[in-house]
Every structure is written in structure tokens, then in C-alpha cells.
Structure 1
């Protein structure tokens, strides 16, 4: 299934609060939360000027799978699913079954989303990343199953605390 077909499949089947996984060919994933109307909320590139955009473009040419991560600044954004920057060969999935927690009720997820939208945060692969954000919205607990050597489905208390302070 090509990228556009995957996007259409997600839009046709996803519900608000579903975890959307952008599975990259190198074995890690970018995560977001489905927000309805074909949109996802996720850790995205922070606001930047022309010079920084050119620099990021150069980085992505050399490191196509992680150029965004190398600069370290993110902004929680709502974007159309089809416009999220992913490498060739990425697969988009609804991945609600990768974590063992019970989802929060929709009004609580919406409140977290509303309070975190447009916040700028430093990106840290081990301590504050896109999967931490997405699972916090859905479960109220920041979890990342991609970190080597970390117990799967274990709440990352520091990340949870960071998000909790922003929504309190």
C-alpha cells in the first residue's frame, strides 16, 4: 500500500485519541495522536527562520531519517496526516495495542491536547520524545517502548511530570 493509501486508510478508520505510529524502515517510529478530520497532533519542528530551515534541509539530505531530531527543538502541532514529514518506506498505523494502559476518557484526552497544543519543548530521545507525548495524551502516562535497555510499557515518570506540569 502506498503512502497516500495508508493516509486514506487511517483517516477512514481512526478515532479521536488513537495512537498513530509512523514506522520508519530503520526500526524506530514517530508517534502522534489522531485528532479527527485527517489531522494528527505530534512533536513537530519548532518555529524557525529561513537560515534554520536551510540548515535543517541540509541535515535531512545527509541524515534523511533523523535530521529533525538532531536540532532538538519541537513544537506540539496539529497537522494534516498527509503533510507529516516521514522518510520513504515509512508505514502509518493505528497502534493502540502497543501499550498496556487503559485509555483515558475522551474529554480528558481533549483537555490534555488543548493545554499542550503549540507548546515548545526540547526533544530528548531518552527523556522527552514523541512517543512520550502521544502516550501522555492517550493514557496520562508518558511511555516509550523504543528506548533500548528500558523496560517496555513502564511509565517514564520524568516525562510524565514534565507534561503534567504543563497541563496543571
Structure 2
């Protein structure tokens, strides 16, 4: 018995609907199984002691790797920074008229025409010295001075200078750390300046030897 065209179309439509419903049911079963598997896995992780121990070990290893990576990165950066700082510090330290570079605690003698100025080298290209703002002649006897820490190049300017620790032959120099620490402790303080009894040389030698002296 032959089916009409309309009957064939209806049959195809019913078949399509049946296939769609079958696929939908299969997909639903798969999702339900996946959700069930996930719940079972979470239940095992939170209740099984061996699983918890394994999970803890994995987390610990990950944390150690993270810390080691961070530490190595920090160490590398610090080493690079220290090397750059060291190189920069050496380049910033000038040499005296004899070609010598000063060391921390050295006394610096600067030749300024009719008088000599003195300072204490404290490292990194800097000196601590007693400055009299209005000083322009040896005729100045007594006034107030200020202790400053400044760049050695800026203090020297175009004048000749040298490292002068000649009093080491008659006085025992103190350790460099002591000299530098004490010199810097005076920075910013205003003290009496006397061209004969309490000048910049007396200030410098007292930091190096613990007693003021003049050559």
C-alpha cells in the first residue's frame, strides 16, 4: 500500500523528533554521570587520609617552588644592584694629586691658596667637614661653623688635594667605622670655629685620632 507524500513527511518528522529526544536523554545521562564523578572525587579528597596527604604534598611542593623562584629572583636583583652600586661608587671616587683613591676614615687636605681646608672621607665619594659660610680670609678668627656631608668632587672643585694621614706616625688612628660613624654624627651641628685653636683641621683630626691636632 503506497503512502502519500504527506504521510512520508509526517513519518520523517516523527523520526527526527525521536532522534532529538534520544540524544537529549543521552546527553543528560552523561552530564549526570560527570557530576556524580566530580562529587565522588571531592568526597574522596576530603575524607580519604591518603588522598589528603598526597594533596598536601603537592601543595607543599608548589609553595616551595614558588618561594625558591621568588628568592632566586630577589637574590639576583640584589646582586645586580649591589654590583652596579659598587661600580658606580668606584667611578665616583676621584684620585688625589698622587693618583690615590681615598679610603673610609682618611683625612683629606685641600690647598686653597693662602690656607688649607680639611675633611674626613666617609665613603661613596663623600666627605664630612667643618664649613664656615662667610670664610674668605685667614684673618677670620672666631665665628660659627656648620658640619656638613658633601660630595668630595664638589668640595674640592678645581683645587689640588691629597690624602694626608701623616699624623699616624705619632697618633693611633681609630677604626674606620668609628671614624665615619662619629663624623656623620656631627653633620648638621653648628659649632664654634677658631682659625687657630678650633679650625677644620682640628675637627678632622679629632675624628680620626680622638684628639684634635694640627700639623
Normalising by the residue count of structure 1, what TM-score does the alignment of the two structures yield?
0.61
Change (3 A) 1:78 1:69: farther
Give the secondary structure class of the aligned counterpart of 2:113: coil
RMSD after superposition: 2.8
Matches within 5 A, 1:6-25: 8-10=94-96, 13-25=101-113
Equivalents in 2 of 1:25, 1:127: separation in Å?
A: 21
Out of 103, 106, 113, the position equivalent to 2:173 is 103
Change (3 A) 1:122 1:78: same
Out of 73, 77, 93, the position equivalent to 2:148 is 77
How far apart are residue 8 of structure 1 and its match? 2.2
Equivalents in 1 of 2:95, 2:141: separation in Å?
A: 31
Q: Which residue of 1 aligns with 2:193?
A: 123
Alpha carbons 1:45, 1:68 under 8 Å: kept? no
Q: Which stretches of structure 1, 4 residues or longer, exceed 3 Å deviation after superposition? A: 67-71
Equivalents in 1 of 2:190, 2:172: separation in Å?
A: 27
Equivalents in 2 of 1:80, 1:68: separation in Å?
A: 27
Change (3 A) 1:143 1:37: same
1:38 and 2:108 are equivalent in the alignment: no
Change (3 A) 1:82 1:110: closer
Tell which structure's C-alpha radius of gyration is larger.
Answer: 2
Normalising by the residue count of structure 2, what TM-score does the alignment of the two structures yield?
0.48
Give the secondary structure class of the aligned counterpart of 1:136: helix
Q: Which runs of 5+ in 1 are unaligned?
A: 1-6, 47-55, 146-168
- How many residue pairs get aligned? The number is 120
Q: Which runs of 5+ in 2 are unaligned?
A: 1-92
Q: Which residue of 2 aligns with 1:52?
A: none
Equivalents in 2 of 1:37, 1:68: separation in Å?
A: 34
Give the secondary structure class of the aligned counterpart of 1:82: helix
Equivalents in 1 of 2:211, 2:119: separation in Å?
A: 14
